[in-house]
Amino acid sequence: MSDVVEKTLTALPSLLSLDSQPGSAKLSSSSKLGALIRGITELTSKHEEEKLVQHELASLKDQVSSPNISMRQMKEAMVRAIYCEMLGYEASFSYIHAIKLAQQGSILDKRVGYLAVCLFLNENHELLLLLVNTVLKDLQSTNLIEVCMALTVVSQMFPKDMIPAILPLVEEKLNHSKEIIRRKAVLALYKFYLIAPNQVQHIHNKFRKALCDKDPGVMFASLHIYLQMIKDNPEGYKDLTASFVTILKQVVSGKLPMDFNYHSVPAPWLQIQLLRILSILGKNDQMSSEIMYDVLDESLKRAEINHNITYAILYECVKCIYTIYPNSDLLEKAAKCIGNFVISSKINLKYLGLKALTFVIQQDPKLALQHQMTIIECLDHPDIIIKRETLELLFRITNAQNVTVIVEKMLEFLHQSKDDHSTIDLVGKVAEIAEKYAPENKWFIETMNTVFSLGGDMIQPDIPNSFLKLLSEGFDSEEENQKLRLFAVDSYISLLEGEIKKLPQRFLQVISWVLGEYSHLRTDLDSARVITLLAKLLDMKQMSGETKTWVLMAMTKLCSGESSISIAQSVCDDYSSSMDTVLRQRAHELQLLSQDSALRGQLLTLHSGSEPLEVDSSLSFLDAFVSEALAAGAAPYKPPHQRQEELAQEKALSLEPYELSLPINMSSSSLTGRQSPTLMSVSSGLSGDSTELSLKGNTTILKLEGVKRVWGKEGYLSRKDPLEEVIQVENPSSPSQPTGTGGTPSDTPTPSATPEPEHGKQQLASSLFIGLGSQTSVFLMGKSDPTAQRIRRKVKTPNSSMAVTERGSVSSTSSAVDNLLCNNIPESANMVQEVTYETPPPYKTELDARLNEDLIDSTPSPVQSNGVETTSDKTESEITDKPRDECSSISLPAKLSGLPHSEVTSLCSNQTVELSACHVEKHDYVLLVIFISNSSDSDMENIHLQVISEQLEVSLLCESPLQDIAKHSMAVCQYLLNVRRPVVHFEVVGMLSYQTSSENQEVEFSYKLPLTSFVRPLEVSTEQYGTMWLAFSNDTKQNLALVTDGQDPLTDTLDLLKKKLGLHVVEIIGVEGIVACRLVQDQPCLLHCRVHGRTLAVWLRSPIPELPDCLLYHCQRVLEET
Amino acid sequence: MRFMLLFSRQGKLRLQKWYMATAEREKKKMVRELMQIVLARKPKMCSFLEWRDLKIVYKRYASLYFCCAIEEQDNELITLEVIHRFVELLDKYFGSVCELDIIFNFEKAYFILDEFLMGGEIQDTSKKSVLKAIEQSDLLQEEDESPRSVLEEMGLA
């Protein structure tokens, strides 16, 4: 701020008490608003203010609803109404008048009208519909100001459904002669893109025009859209990378008009926007990143003035440099920048420095070591925000050695924190790292106790769930499990004996479950004592019904022996007539159990052997029931989406008689039973403890359970009782099976962090940053990889069906690879031509080129030179010089080499490792083959490769997990992919962590496959097709372009689709054709095609809701390409 | 940007602009909560806050607090400069602005804000063109009471 302004503003407070101001009377006397404001400032109490404002509102109401009011008076009244609303008083009577004012007023009144609408309503308000016509009219006005106002209101709020009505008009404004209109139109379209991206898809090429607009303001506005579009689909805009770089270069070197300078920095907003775009484009993309290096370097250099705005640019640069493909020179500079931020005396910069450090710490743990003393200081910073950010940083560098200190610091903060949001967040983080790195049982249980106590009832529900799951499933060592459970039992008993009033409900639920399950492990503990403690809980006033249920269930498990039974019975007497049906049900169960000793003997025996429960997810045992119900006239089951669709199709009136639907309702409710508390509690109550096995023969109970689990897609499962889930997965086991010792390192001493001046800090630093150097492993943020959290948990044996005959991982030495290579190259090149891709992966050429070099270098044999020819045809022009010593190259394992597969694509690489992948299409599945090639001079050890996908089921085909890769050699991992949810392009993401020369490293990668890789022909007869067609419910219709250059357009088109997508043409009859295909595991999709003039009307049906749309997309692509 | 608030040291709201659809009751709750947090902070403290799932950037000019809510991945420092540019614009328009100007002419302040930010994004970074647009609309103003001349009489201009 300029000095003058600063001075004026600081002088102002003295002017502010209105009463003492001679000018204030004058200032306000001129208008009613002034009078109102003055009146309010003179008041002393809130009560008086309320009275005055209510009075004002009443008179306003009279005024605006009088028929004689002029628009000018209306405008004045509206301003007062806005003022009253700002003070927090509702003036909803004026909303409709605001709309009227915008509609009828002269230009100035209109402006106030629009303003009032923007302030009063939000975009979901129903009155907004009344504004649509006004906006339409103003958009067509010849008055620029009216057009501007309309565009402004549109970008502020507009009903989503009404966008199509005004879209053409807004679009037209992109060609307006005035830049201000073009700019506002672009921003309005940006807003549309945000709320309804599909509706502006067709104008993407116009956005390009806006990007090239001669006015920098319009170009800048278009960047908002581009940032958003690129975020949604980075692959689609790679071609613009160079353009964005050029723009940034021009901006940085000051080519824009001076108007755009801000404190003598050229267009900083523009720079930052471009940097954000570039960082997305350069992420995991070496080629794009390389284009940016120069301009990033330039930006870093230029931003040297000591002003906030340059720091803002620097910060964005740093983020960009760490996001894109790394460049060591830039990284070094960025690290220096972060350092300057962190040590800055300006608190805002310090905060951003910490934030940047948190951001980069995954890639550069050593940076934290450099700044450890600053970090320690920040930990005790008086500003809570700085402290909080520091803890975030520590959370990211937690490992097994520093976990105790970090958790201690976090808990310290939690004790002081009053803000719910950060408490919940931090409690979750403590729980996460405690579970992951706990050095010993006692510590873990105590930490979790604090977590539960501090987190209270706001705690994320998955924390108690996963804690109980951990207790019940345990680690690899059974002995450790028992110890942990014992600790928990001991600790909870002593808690219950102490002050119980302050324990939160969630914690009490955890306690009751653990005591119910495991208190028998402590043999010297009398169950009567536990039951007494539990009964005491029930007497507390603030106990929720849910917690009481947990307690009763725990009692059910413990009820044995004379004294316990008598306590249980008195409890039952209290609750067997409870108004809460679930509670009452539990009480009755407990009562029954306590009275019948034979039943007890049968149910409450401890099982030593633990077999996993078998869950029949297909619910085949219900088949008889279903067919019976169907025979009795019940309607067949329809999945929710289908029901919804039908609901949407049926308009308001239902003409069907009611009694038809009645039996359906009844049958479905008794079938699912999940709404009924009695049935629910029977199933979960009896499934508690070790009763499942003995009750397995009793089908009624199992049935109910199965129903609940599978059909509870919405409704019930979402609010499922955490206990039930836990119970269903747990395997009761006795302490008689020690299977080995020590899954947890328990020898780490807990360093005390006494705040003795310098020495204390040093000590703290060494305990916090231990394990960050090169010697030990760094476990990086558990946030991004949910599976890593279960790192210590028992690894479940993979489903037997996955163990297909394929050999899992093949490591081969370089010579073997060379041999394979000679055979494979020509073949794979041929295959590649068969499998078509929309977007050729960017690195294939480079890899091919490297393959070439290898082949040329080695002694050429006839076969080899043949291979060279084939590949070099494709890549000649793009061979890049890569002076790397290549010792290993890439080929498919022999068994797969004959199958159709994609090109081998490089995923990522660094100094030590190169990752590449391809996918192989087999008849009923798709294999993802990942090649890990170690190009360094040292061996890679402790390899952990993790591959996941949102839309695909990924399972490792492997006999033994991959461990090490010797230097200059390669390993191959194969993953079986199955479709979980169809999308147009599937994305698989993965992370490889490994050790080289005892240094931990990690690389992340992603791989894309089109849906077409999963499409297989479905060979059915016309009759079968007919029955299937009727059975499928999800359909989509669309007109496609016909291939018209041949004799018979329909046959040509279908043949093309057959060839490119692997569809099966069932029959062609006249102008109609029927086509069928399936996704690898029997997810069929049927196409019905009919020629209409020059277009082909295609109608797709499938049982999978998403499939028709996705398949249609690919059909469209194929036909457009020709 | 999700929303922008202007409030006085006494906790009186002076301006509010919401760029996300929020129910009236929720707005009031958020405003109250935020004012409390921001007013409780000491002058030397960090201008950024993590609040709910948002990031709050605030700055105090004389007796007025300017407070913006942005998303996690947005740049905090540039948001501070957005606030500053807005203050500069107000200053230029009103001729050394003070809280009184904003109280009595809040609708003008809204117009300036609308010309500067559109749908929560910076619309125009050039000070000149923002003011030009405002002045163009103002030219249509009939010659009635002019707050500016009053300010001049007060000796503020």
Tell me the domain boundaries of chain B. Answer: 3-154
Structure tokens at A821: 């290579």
- Using the beta-carbon criterion (under 8 Å), do B128 and A259 form an inter-chain contact? yes
Shortest CA gap A532–chain B (Å): 42
Structure tokens at A340: 């300057």
Cβ-nearest to B77 among A107, A311, A385 = A311
Predicted confidence at residue A960, as pLDDT, reads 65
**Rounded to whole angstroms, how far apart are CA atoms A44 and A51?**
12
Top-ranked range on mean pLDDT: pick from A120-134, A634-648, B62-76: B62-76
Residues of B in contact with A221 (CB under 8 A): 121, 123
A98 compared with A572, residue with greater pLDDT: A98
Cβ-nearest to A351 among B48, B96, B129 = B48
Predicted confidence at residue A961, as pLDDT, reads 67
- Averaged pLDDT score across all residues of chain A: 74
Q: In DSSP terms, which residues pair with A979 in a beta bridge?
A: A952
A772 compared with A1068, residue with greater pLDDT: A1068
Shortest CA gap B60–chain A (Å): 10
Residues of A in contact with B44 (CB under 8 A): 347
CB contact at 8 A, A582 and A549: yes
Structure tokens at A1026: 């007919």
pLDDT tens per residue across span A999-1031: 788 888 888 888 888 888 888 888 888 888 878
For chain A positions 437-496, those within 8 Å of chain B (CB to CB) are: none
**Rounded to whole angstroms, how far apart are CA atoms A558 and A535?**
12
- Please give the torsion angle defined by the CA atoms of residues A306, A310, A316 and A317, in that order, rounded to the nearest 10 degrees: -80
- pLDDT higher than 80, residue A894: no
ipTM: 0.88
- pLDDT higher than 60, residue A1075: yes
Integer Rg of chain A from CA: 35
Report chain A's terminal Cα–Cα distance, integer Å. 60
- Using the beta-carbon criterion (under 8 Å), do A115 and B81 form an inter-chain contact? no
B-interface mutation test, from A148, A155, A183, most B Cβ less than 10 A away? A155
Residues A867-873: what's their mean pLDDT? 38
Q: Does B39 reach chain A within 8 Å, measured CB to CB?
A: no
- Residue A844's Cβ-side half-sphere holds a number of Cα atoms within 13 Å equal to 18
Query: In chain A, pLDDT over 70 holds for what percent of residues?
Result: 74
**Rounded to whole angstroms, how far apart are CA atoms A716 and A673?**
10
User: Model-level pTM?
Assistant: 0.60
- pLDDT higher than 60, residue A991: yes
- pLDDT higher than 90, residue A709: no
For chain A positions 715-744, those within 8 Å of chain B (CB to CB) are: none
Question: Could you tell me how far CA A723 lies from the centroid of its own chain?
Answer: 26
A310 compared with B136, residue with greater pLDDT: A310
**Rounded to whole angstroms, how far apart are CA atoms A324 and A919?**
26
pLDDT tens per residue across span A1038-1048: 788 888 777 78
**Contacts across the A-B interface (CB distance below 8 Å):** 197
pLDDT tens per residue across span A14-71: 444 333 333 333 343 457 888 888 888 888 788 888 889 999 999 999 888 888 888 8
Cβ-nearest to B61 among A9, A26, A34 = A9
Nearest chain A residue to B90 by CA: give it.
A5
Structure tokens at A774: 């090169």
Predicted confidence at residue B57, as pLDDT, reads 95
pLDDT tens per residue across span A721-770: 434 443 343 444 444 444 444 443 434 343 444 445 567 777 777 777 77
- pLDDT higher than 70, residue A336: yes
Among residues A449, A375, A464, A374, which one has the least CA distance to residue A414? A449
Structure tokens at A763: 């000590």
Instruction: For residue A230, give the 3-state DSSP assignment.
Output: helix
Please list the alpha-helical segments (H only) found in B17-146: 24-39, 76-94, 99-104, 106-116, 127-138
pLDDT tens per residue across span A651-706: 444 444 444 433 343 333 333 333 333 333 333 333 333 333 333 333 333 333 33
A146 compared with A24, residue with greater pLDDT: A146
Predicted confidence at residue A878, as pLDDT, reads 40
**Rounded to whole angstroms, how far apart are CA atoms A36 and A131?**
29
The CATH number for B3-154, chosen from 3.20.20.80, 3.40.50.261, 1.10.10.1100, 3.30.450.60, is 3.30.450.60
Structure tokens at A829: 């090149």
Structure tokens at A602: 């049968």
Q: How far is CA A1033 from CA A369, A645, A1011, A1014, A1106, in A?
A: 60, 9, 21, 21, 12
**Rounded to whole angstroms, how far apart are CA atoms A79 and A32?**
10
Range in A148-157, A847-856, A888-897, A945-954 the model is least confident about:
A847-856
Predicted confidence at residue A314, as pLDDT, reads 92
Cβ neighbours of residue A836 under 8 Å, at least 6 residues apart?
A1012, A1060
**Strand A913-921 relative to strand A905-909, pairing:** antiparallel
Predicted confidence at residue A201, as pLDDT, reads 81
Predicted confidence at residue A189, as pLDDT, reads 92
Residues of A in contact with B142 (CB under 8 A): 108
Structure tokens at A361: 């710490």
- pLDDT higher than 50, residue A1052: yes
Q: How far is CA A282 from CA A293, A845, B125, in A?
A: 10, 18, 27
Cβ-nearest to B63 among A16, A83, A220 = A16
**Rounded to whole angstroms, how far apart are CA atoms A552 and A543?**
12
* Residue A597 backbone dihedrals phi, psi, to 5 degrees: -70, -30
Residues B61-72: what's their mean pLDDT? 92
Cβ neighbours of residue A298 under 8 Å, at least 6 residues apart?
A249, A252, A253
Q: Does A362 reach chain B within 8 Å, measured CB to CB?
A: no
Shortest CA gap B7–chain A (Å): 11
How sure is the predictor about A771, in pLDDT bands with cuts at 50, 70 and 90? low
Q: In DSSP terms, which residues pair with A918 in a beta bridge?
A: A929
Query: In chain A, pLDDT over 90 holds for what percent of residues?
Result: 11
Q: Does A157 reach chain B within 8 Å, measured CB to CB?
A: yes
**Rounded to whole angstroms, how far apart are CA atoms A1018 and A1064?**
6
Range in A201-215, A695-709, A973-987, A1071-1085 the model is least confident about:
A695-709
**Rounded to whole angstroms, how far apart are CA atoms A704 and A697?**
13
Residues of A in contact with B16 (CB under 8 A): 86, 119
Other CB atoms within 10 Å distance of the CB of residue A416: 8
CB contact at 8 A, A189 and A173: no
- Using the beta-carbon criterion (under 8 Å), do A13 and B62 form an inter-chain contact? yes
Question: Could you tell me how far CA A635 lies from the centroid of its own chain?
Answer: 37
Residues A323-341: what's their mean pLDDT? 90
Residues of B in contact with A119 (CB under 8 A): 16-17, 110
How sure is the predictor about B131, in pLDDT bands with cuts at 50, 70 and 90? confident
Shortest CA gap A187–chain B (Å): 7
Nearest chain B residue to A147 by CA: give it.
B137
Residues A254-270: what's their mean pLDDT? 87
Integer Rg of chain B from CA: 16
How sure is the predictor about A720, in pLDDT bands with cuts at 50, 70 and 90? very low
Shortest CA gap B157–chain A (Å): 10
- Residue A623's Cβ-side half-sphere holds a number of Cα atoms within 13 Å equal to 5
Cβ-nearest to B153 among A23, A107, A352 = A23
DSSP H/E element including A586 = helix A581-595
For chain A positions 89-108, those within 8 Å of chain B (CB to CB) are: 90, 107-108
- pLDDT higher than 80, residue A145: yes
**Rounded to whole angstroms, how far apart are CA atoms A947 and A989?**
6
A-interface mutation test, from B126, B127, B152, most A Cβ less than 10 A away? B126
- pLDDT higher than 70, residue A936: yes
Q: Does A599 reach chain B within 8 Å, measured CB to CB?
A: no
